[in-house]
Structure 1
Amino acid sequence: MDVTQRLTLPRGGLSLPCIGMGCAPLGGLYQPVSEAQARATLDGAWDAGVRFFDTAPFYGYTQSEHRLGAALRQRPRKEFVISTKVGRLMRPDASVRAGDDGFCSPLPFRPHYDYTYDGVLRSHDDSLQRLGLECIDILFVHDIGRVTHGEMDQQYWRQLTDGGGFRALDELRASGQVKAVGLGVNECEIVLRAMAEFDLDCTLLAGRYTLLEQASLSPLLDLCAVRGNAVVIGGPFNSGVLAGNGKFNYADAPTEILERVARLDAICREFKVPLQAAALQFPLAHPAVASCIPGGQDLAQLKQNLDWFATMIPNALWTALQGAGLIDARAPVPKGAA
């Protein structure tokens, strides 16, 4: 597959590269990342043709946005797409320590949930200043839903609805300050709930449509295709278990998940295809999916992702995986070598 391939979103006309870079790792997620390492990774991504970068205030407690902005400010603005997120306001806090929320060296700002009208507008302005850019292309509502918020779910949902969070997104989109708006989440039900309330241009769905799990096929992805809600696939390795780190949903993978990964890997090996290559390419076959954004902590990992993305995969592999019941028989699969 070609890293320069682009798809125009059904609404708004934004042209989105089919592969991008998730920038949570550049905030030191699980492993420390130095300024020099982050900059080398971002510069290497640019040189390799990557033109879509996703970040968030939460990543490294503003660190990812600072690092990404510093690397992109010198680049021609019309050549790249950048997305960030709203839903958490970052407030100065001297009690922040290494390891908070999994970030090895977070900056001294503590996240506070706020999905209200004022909170969304404030978060957007703060991100512009951290990035040092005049505009953001896509604004995602970050981590809304029952899985994230539990008993507080309804309170935060009302901030988006009655509290004007969706209205703020609509105003930013209508005014041209952002080109597209949507959700950036790890759960499916909240996307369906939001689509019943508000017109989403795109959704960043992390970990819920992958080589390992396809429960989101119906009704979510079916509805997204019909409604023009383009899907960006985050977490294509399901927190890394498909890449060999043993993590699933940001925790140690349970035995049944590890066993399923082993079965996937065994069939991929029969066809001499890296499991990671199949994981990166599989979700892009669905007509609702516009892009896939694996993360990268260093230049070597970035280049490895791009190599996997370009790997030729025979059609027979997908047939074998479906025949073994390891991917849903209804799932569209890539068209590769005969």
Structure 2
Amino acid sequence: MNVDQRINLPRGGLSLPCIGMGCAPLGGLYHAVTEAQAQATLEGAWDAGVRFYDTAPYYGYTLSERRVGNALRQRPRHEFVIATKVGRLLRADASVQPGDDGFAAPLPFRPHYDYSYDAVLRSHEDSLQRLGLASIDILFVHDIGRVTHGENDDVYWRQLIDGGGFRALEELRASGQIKAFGLGVNESAAVLRAMEYADLDCTLLAGRYTLLEQESLSPLLDLCEQRGNAIVIGGPFNSGVLAGNGKFNYADAPPAVLARVAQLDAICREFKVPLQAAALQFPLAHPVVASCIPGGQDLAQLRQNLAWFATPIPDGLWLALRDAGLIDARAPLPLSVSGEGA
């Protein structure tokens, strides 16, 4: 696979590079990242041909957006795609402490959930200011759904549906201020619900269609293909368990998950393929998947991700994983032209 390969979204005329960069780590997620490290990583990404960057106000409490903007502001605007998110407004708060929400050195701005019409427009404008850019390509509605909001879930859905959040996004798209919008979530149910009320262009789905789990194949990915809702794969390592850190869904992986990862890894080793390479390349075989965006905390990690992405993988590995029941039989496989059908 080539880093400069692009896939056209079903609507809006936007094309996404098949691999991008998730910029939550540049906000200091779990580990502190200096400004010099962040800029070196972003410069290295650009030099390596990365042209799709996903950030959010929440990451580092505005820190990630500021760093991404610093790196991209002088680049030719037509050459890259930038995505950020709405759903949280960041307000100045001196009580913010290192470690809040897992960010090692967050800036002194506290996130407050708000998915209403005015909040979406305010969030868009605030992000433009932090990025220092005249336009944003994609806005993702961040962390809507029951997994995040629990008993308050319906309150926030009402803001999106009745309070005008979706309407604001549709107006921004219709006016050309953004090219696309969708959800940025970790749960399939939220995407299915949102598609009842809005025509989503693309959705950032973290951790729910990976080498480790493919439960979202149906009905979600089937419906996305019918409705023109392209999928951007976030969290291709399932919070890191597929990369060897023992974490799954932002917590310690349970024994059953670790056992399945060990099975996947054993077959990959038989074919002398890094498990991480298979994890990055597998989701892109699905026709609805437009891009995969692993995170990059430093330049070494970025380069390693790109090397895994470019690793040749024999068809036999994919077929062996499917035959072992480790890949859903319905999942398309990234087979070569001469390989068996998926």
TM-score, normalised via structure 2 length: 0.98
SS at match of 2:313: coil
For residues 31 and 256 of structure 1, what CA distance do their matches in structure 2 show?
27
CA distance in 2, matches of 1:335, 1:90: 45
Q: Deviations over 1:44-78 (max 9, x none)?
A: 00000000000000000000000000000010000
Matched, 1:12 2:12: yes
Q: Which amino acid aligns with 1:39?
A: Q
| Structure 1 gap segments, 5+ residues each | none
Could you tell me the percent identity over the aligned residues?
A: 81
CA distance in 2, matches of 1:304, 1:247: 19
Name the CA distance, whole Å, in 1 between partners of 2:4 and 2:155: 42
CA distance in structure 1 between the partners assigned to 2:324 and 2:98 by the alignment: 44
**Partner in structure 2 of residue 147 of structure 1:** 147
1:184 — aligned with what?
184
Match of 1:310 in 2: 310
Q: Measure the CA separation in 2 of the matches of 1:188 and 1:283.
A: 15
What is the CA-CA distance between 1:226 and the residue it aligns to? 1.1
Q: Deviations over 1:15-56 (max 9, x none)?
A: 110000000000000111000000000000000000000000
SS at match of 2:57: coil
Residue in 2 that maps onto 1:71: 71
Shift of 1:147: 0.7
Query: Which whole-Å deviations, capped at 9, do the CAs of 1:60-104 have from their partners, x for residues lacking one?
Result: 000000000000001000000000000000000111001000000
Name the residue aligned to 1:113. 113
Q: Distance in 1 between matches of 2:191 and 2:162?
A: 18
2:250 maps to 1:225: no
Q: Distance in 2 between matches of 1:110 and 1:251?
A: 23
Cα distance in 2 for partners of 1:95, 1:35 equals 22
Question: Quick one: distance in 1 between partners of 2:263 and 2:335?
Answer: 22
Once residues 213 and 98 of structure 1 are traced to their aligned partners in structure 2, the CA distance between those partners, rounded to angstroms, is 33
Supply the distance in 2 between the matched residues of 1:53 and 1:245 (Cα, whole angstroms): 24
Quote how far apart the aligned CAs of 1:335 are: 1.7
In the aligned structure 2, how far is the partner of 1:240 from the partner of 1:97? 25
For the pair 1:332 / 2:335, whether they are aligned, the reply is no
Distance between the aligned counterparts of 1:36 and 1:141, measured in 2? 30
| Runs of at least 5 residues in structure 2 that lack an aligned partner in the other structure | none
Match of 1:128 in 2: 128
Trace 1:1-338 onto structure 2 (pairs within 5 A): 1-336=1-336
Contact 2:318/2:335 (CA < 8 Å) preserved in 1? no
CA distance in 2, matches of 1:295, 1:156: 28
Letter in 2 for 1:154: D
Q: CA deviation at 1:334?
A: 0.2
1:282-329 CA-partner distances (Å, limit 9, x unpaired): 000000000000000000000000000000000110111011111101
Question: What's the offset of the Cα at 1:260?
Answer: 0.6
Cα distance in structure 2, aligned partners of 1:228 and 1:161? 20
User: Which one-letter code corresponds to 2:22 in the other structure?
Assistant: G
CA contact (8 A) 2:285 2:332 kept: yes
Supply the AA of the counterpart residue of 1:276: Q
1:331 offset after TM fit, Å? 0.2
Deviation at 1:242, TM superposition (A): 0.3
Q: Give me the whole-angstrom Cα distance separating, in 2, the residues matched to 1:17 and 1:319.
A: 27
Q: TM-score, with normalisation over the residues of structure 1?
A: 0.99
Q: Distance in 1 between matches of 2:189 and 2:100?
A: 27
Displacement of 1:6 in angstroms is 0.2
Contact 2:205 2:232 in 1 (8 A): yes
- Partners of 2:61 and 2:312 in 1: CA distance: 38
Instruction: State the secondary structure of the residue aligned to 2:110.
Output: strand
2: CA distance, partners of 1:171 / 1:255: 47
Runs of 4+ in 1 over 2 A off after TM superposition: none
